[in-house]
Amino acid sequence: MAEETIFSKIIRREIPSDIVWQDELVTAFRDISPQAPTHILIVPNLLIPTLNDVSEAHEQALGRMLTVAAKLAAQEGIAEDGYRVIMNCNRHGGQEVYHIHLHLLGGRMLGPMLTHKG
């Protein structure tokens, strides 16, 4: 069984967080260290450690993560100008919390995804 994370406690509202969406499948809350004017994390309520652990049984929750991202982008007023969604996987991908999560970022020009390092 996967090891519980801080996100599990946020989902259960055991620790304070600025939750902007919650339903039976996903929870979304503002990042405590935002990298853009809008930076919201969207997580499945079921603990899935990495994208490598995703199965067909998770498809409904993963689809909901994307539809919630679009709804929140509209609510935040960033849909028209544009926004970015990012999901990191494992250490080289930049994953820090091993409970998959989608970053919704916007509110300014975000620049290139990656810079070339020779």
Which residues, listed in sequence order, are joined to residue 44 by a DSSP beta bridge?
26
Q: Are 106 and 36 in contact (CB under 8 A)?
A: yes
Q: SS3 of 63, please?
A: helix
pLDDT tens-place string over residues 52-100 = 999 999 999 999 999 999 999 999 999 999 999 999 999 999 999 999 9
Catalytic residue among 99, 101, 103, 116: 101
Q: Which domains does the chain have, with CATH numbers?
A: 6-106 (3.30.428.10)
Angstrom distance (rounded) from CA 44 to CA 58? 9
Question: What phi and psi values does residue 41 have, to the nearest 5 degrees?
Answer: -100, 135
Run of H or E including 85: strand 83-86
Q: Over 70: is that where the pLDDT of 116 sits?
A: no
Q: How far is CA 6 from CA 13, 31, 59, 118, in A?
A: 10, 12, 23, 36
What phi and psi values does residue 99 have, to the nearest 5 degrees?
-150, 105
Q: What local confidence, expressed as pLDDT, does residue 113 receive?
A: 76
Q: Provide the whole-model pTM.
A: 0.92
Query: Of all residues in the chain, what percent carry a pLDDT higher than 90?
Result: 89
101 catalytic residue (yes or no): yes
Structure confidence at residue 111 (pLDDT): 85
Element holding 22 (H helix, E strand): strand 19-22
Residues whose CB is less than 8 angstroms from the CB of residue 112 and which lie 6 or more positions away in sequence, other chains included: none
